[in-house]
Chains A and B, each alone.
Chain A
Amino acid sequence: TAAALLALIGHVSAARAEPPATESADFKSQFNALLGPATPIDGAGLTLDLPASVDNGDYVPVAVAVESPMTEENHVKAVHLLSTANPRASVATFRFTLLSGTARVTSRMRLAKTQDVVALAELSDGRLLVVRHQVDVKVGGCGI
């Protein structure tokens, strides 16, 4: 399936001016471990707010929000933030409670190079939501 892979790379290159870095083995293993046997749902109320491009990968503002009533029956348990091409894939896991009132968090992350950032939300009913966002990085985060 080398041909299929090449076709895929060709497709990605054609679609994007600057293709993101290849997904790291660490990312794939962490992402698959989080998913388990579940099939994630794209988007569906999960938003990942990141700039489209940054000059400096050392401080990249990131905000995650999940639409949820945050009741006992229906709430967001956690949001995992993953980098697809930093030396370490796990960026953060944010855990919410009913006292949170809303499943929203803002932070700042490091990006070593142009890549996709992935957010995965765990809901109380077992659903998993996934969203991806590419960030072009002109100067990578130093010493990541």
Chain B
Amino acid sequence: MMKKPPRIKLPDAINTGEIIEIKTLATHIMETGNRKDAAGNVIARDIIHTFTASFEGQQVFSATLGSGIAANPYIAFFMRVPGSGTLTLTWLDDAGTTTVEKVSLTAA
């Protein structure tokens, strides 16, 4: 469960054909499943296990994450801009929460 929406950063000006960096920061505890509470019970794993990025329905990048990714997962990846369109970013966690963000991208 994300306490607040993810942050997404794209360049200010984008040209068709350009390779741009897309920076994302999710808010998530990334509980590893290896820790114990005060009573000695294992705290269940709760991590974002999958991140995907697609543009106009075509996959751009995806990541399968393990407990070795730091809390509040930061993922910065690249895209060759095919033109204007909608970038869809999706985060899935162990609690079954799906977070989807859509970014409308205007390319010159």
Q: Which residues of A contact B (CB under 8 A)?
A: 58-60, 70, 81, 83, 86-88, 90-102, 104-111, 141, 143-144
Contact = CB atoms under 8 A, between A and B. Distances in A.
Contacts of B80: 70, 98-102
B66 A96 contact: no
Interface residues of B, number: 28
B5 interface: no
B55 interface: yes
A92 B76 contact: no
Given A99-B82, A105-B76, A144 B61 contact: no
B68 A92 contact: yes
Contact of A59 (B61, B63, B70): B70
B79 A86 contact: no
A87 B82 CA distance: 41
A83 B80 CA distance: 30
A91 B69 contact: yes
A87 B34 contact: yes
Nearest to A58: B70
Contacts of B79: 99-101
Contacts of B63: 92-95, 105, 107
A92 B69 contact: yes
